[in-house]
Amino acid sequence: MYVYISHVIGRKSLELIYVHSVVYLGTQYSRLPPAAYYYIFISCDVISLTLQGTGGGMSSGSSGKSDVGVDIAIAGLSSQVFSLTVFTCFAVDYAVRYWREHNAKTGKEGRITKQFSIFVGFLAFAVICILIRCVYRIDELSKGYSGSSAGQLLHNQGLFIALEGV
């Protein structure tokens, strides 16, 4: 179950930081009120984790031979990629709107310091890493768990260690 939950915890922390950044920099640039991000994306994660857990449970109960279980787990991962992509679009939209208001019109950066810019850069890197990992998991499971039809990524130990273990 750790495989399913680990990136959700990381993602929730990114969303929490984003909401606090919106409050700090100004809610007027956000398309949604800060609390709406919690309601929307926590609901998406509950649905995604439910699908992933159900699919994983069905697959483990059938010793990896349940195509239905794999398909449900993939649907959960796919919904997670979709909701993270939507979240990223909201964050990019916020950044563009903030930048246009402060940098383009006034020539000032507002409340953004060099340290904050570096921090945001690392947050963006973390989002990209989570997206890559989720897409990897989708491809990894796309051919099932065992046999000659199993995905090549499932048997690639280097990629597994890099994308799952680190």
Secondary structure (3-state) at 30: coil
Q: In Å, how far from its chain's centre is CA 139?
A: 16
pLDDT, tens digit (0-9, with 9 covering 90-100), for 112-134: 778 888 988 998 898 888 888 88
Per cent of the chain over pLDDT 70 is 77
List CB contacts of 138: < 8 A, sequence separation 6 or more: 74, 77, 78, 81
Stretch among 75-79, 109-113, 128-132 having the lowest mean pLDDT: 109-113
pLDDT of residue 153: 59
Q: How many CB atoms lie within 10 A of CB 38?
A: 14
Task: Select from 73, 4, 80 the least CA-distant residue to 42.
Answer: 80
The whole-angstrom separation of Cα 124 and Cα 122 is 5
The answer to whether 90 touches 14, Cβ cutoff 8 Å, is no
Global model pTM greater than 0.85:
no
Helical (H) or strand (E) element with 133: helix 114-141
Q: Is residue 67 pLDDT above 50, yes or no?
A: yes
Tell the residue number behind the tokens 């796919």, with chain if given: 78
pLDDT of residue 99: 85
Torsion of CA 122, 125, 130, 134, to 10 degrees: 180
Stretch among 55-69, 85-99, 145-159 having the lowest mean pLDDT: 145-159
Give the residue-averaged pLDDT of 53-72: 80
pLDDT of residue 33: 94
The highest-confidence range among 99-103, 119-123, 159-163, by mean pLDDT, is: 119-123
